[in-house]
C-alpha cells in the first residue's frame, strides 16, 4: 500500500509507543531471512496448543527460551525436546535501541531504558486467516518492557487494559517495519491480533506469505 506521508510516532495509550517504519527495508529483509533460518534449525515454527487442546493459528518459535502455554523452558518440551536456539545479541541490541527511542516519547515505558537486557525472542508467523486472541504477556518475572517488530502484511494490534479481555481497546494497524514498545502502566494489559489486512503485503520483503512478528522480552528467569 503506497503512503504519501510518513506516519508519526504515537503514544495511543500510556506506556504504549508505536514507532512507524522504524525497521528499514534492509533490516526487514534480514529479519525474514533469519526467521527462515531459525525455522530450518529448529524443526519449523509450530502451532502451540492452548489449555483446551486447540492449536493456535499462529505458528511460533523461540530464541533463548522456548515458550508454550503458559511457561518458558530451555527445551522444546511440547515438540522434539531439542534445546531452544540461542538468543542473538544483535536482536537484543536492536530492541534496546527501540526501547530508548520509545522512552524518549513516553518515559512511563521504563525508567531505565539502558538497563533493558532481553533474553528471549518469540517469532510469530501469521499465515492467511491466523490471529491471536486477547492475552497478557505474564510469564516473565520482571517488569521490563516488550518490544514487538512487525514485517509483512499489516496486522491489527488490539490493545486493551489489565482488568480483562473486553473493551475498551484501541486497534492499531501495524505495517511492515513498525515497532511497538509497551511497558510501565501497559505492561500487563491484554492485547491480541484479531486479523490481518488483506492486500497489504510489503514488496520489500519478497515472497513472505503473511506476517512475521518478533517480540523481544526480558524474562528475569535463571537457568
Ligand atoms: O503479533 C503481534 O503483533 C503481537 C504478538 C503478541 O501479542 C505476543 O507475542 O504476545
CATH number for the domain spanning 194: value is: 2.60.120.590
Q: How far is the CA of 132 from the centre of ligand 1 (A)?
A: 7
List, for residues 116-157, the tens digit of each pLDDT value: 999 999 999 999 999 999 999 999 999 999 999 999 999 999
List, for residues 23-39, the tens digit of each pLDDT value: 999 999 999 999 999 99
Domain membership of residue 2 (yes or no) is: no
Q: How far is the CA of 66 from the centre of ligand 1 (A)?
A: 15
Query: How far apart (Å, rounded) are the C-alpha atoms in residues 13 and 16?
Result: 5
Query: How far apart (Å, rounded) are the C-alpha atoms in residues 114 and 169?
Result: 30
Query: How far apart (Å, rounded) are the C-alpha atoms in residues 123 and 215?
Result: 7
Please, what sign has the CA dihedral across residues 60, 147, 161, 18?
negative
Domain membership of residue 167 (yes or no) is: yes
Domain membership of residue 180 (yes or no) is: yes
Domain membership of residue 223 (yes or no) is: no
Domain limits for position 204: 10-217
Query: How far apart (Å, rounded) are the C-alpha atoms in residues 61 and 135?
Result: 18
120 contacts 87 by C-beta, under 8 angstroms: yes
Q: How far is the CA of 124 from the centre of ligand 1 (A)?
A: 7
Domain membership of residue 189 (yes or no) is: yes
Residue 2 pLDDT > 80: no
Extract the C-alpha cell encoding 125.
508467523
DSSP bridge pairs for 75: 83
Number of domains in the chain: 1
To the nearest 10°, the Cα dihedral for 52, 53, 56, 62?
A: 110
List, for residues 52-62, the tens digit of each pLDDT value: 999 999 999 99
List, for residues 167-200, the tens digit of each pLDDT value: 999 999 999 999 999 999 999 999 999 999 999 9
For residue 4, the model assigns a pLDDT of: 63
Q: Average model confidence (pLDDT) for the chain? A: 96
List, for residues 146-173, the tens digit of each pLDDT value: 999 999 999 999 999 999 999 999 999 9
Q: Which of 207, 215, 217, 199 is nearest to 32 (CA)?
A: 207
Extract the C-alpha cell encoding 216.
523481544
Pocket test residue of 215, 216, 217, 219 for ligand 1, highest count of atoms within 8 A of CB: 215
Domain membership of residue 150 (yes or no) is: yes
Domain membership of residue 76 (yes or no) is: yes
Residue with CA closest to ligand 1 atom 9: 215
Amino acid at each position: 500500500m503506497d503512503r504519501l506521508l510518513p506516519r508519526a510516532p504515537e503514544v495511543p495509550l500510556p506506556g504504549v509507543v508505536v514507532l512507524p517504519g522504524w525497521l528499514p527495508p534492509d533490516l526487514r529483509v534480514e529479519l525474514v531471512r533469519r526467521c527462515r533460518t531459525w525455522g530450518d534449525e529448529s524443526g519449523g515454527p509450530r502451532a502451540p496448543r492452548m489449555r483446551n487442546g486447540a492449536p493456535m493459528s499462529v505458528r511460533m518459535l523461540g530464541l533463548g527460551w522456548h515458550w508454550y502455554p503458559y511457561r518458558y523452558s530451555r527445551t522444546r518440551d511440547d515438540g522434539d525436546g531439542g534445546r531452544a536456539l540461542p538468543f542473538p545479541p544483535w536482536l537484543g541490541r536492536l530492541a534496546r535501541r527501540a526501547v530508548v527511542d520509545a522512552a524518549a516519547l513516553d518515559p512511563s515505558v521504563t525508567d531505565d531504558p539502558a538497563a533493558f537486557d532481553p533474553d528471549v525472542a518469540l517469532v510469530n508467523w501469521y499465515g492467511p486467516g491466523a490471529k491471536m486472541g486477547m492475552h497478557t504477556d505474564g510469564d516473565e518475572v520482571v517488569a521490563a518492557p516488550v518490544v514487538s517488530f512487525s514485517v509483512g502484511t499489516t496486522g491489527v494490534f488490539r490493545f486493551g487494559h489489565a482488568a480483562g479481555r473486553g473493551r475498551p481497546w484501541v486497534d492499531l494497524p501495524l505495517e511492515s517495519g513498525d515497532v511497538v514498545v509497551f511497558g510501565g502502566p501497559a505492561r500487563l494489559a491484554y492485547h491480541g491480533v484479531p486479523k490481518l489486512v488483506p492486500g497489504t503485503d510489503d514488496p520489500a520483503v519478497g515472497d513472505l506469505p503473511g506476517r512475521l512478528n518478533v517480540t523481544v522480552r526480558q524474562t528475569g528467569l535463571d537457568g
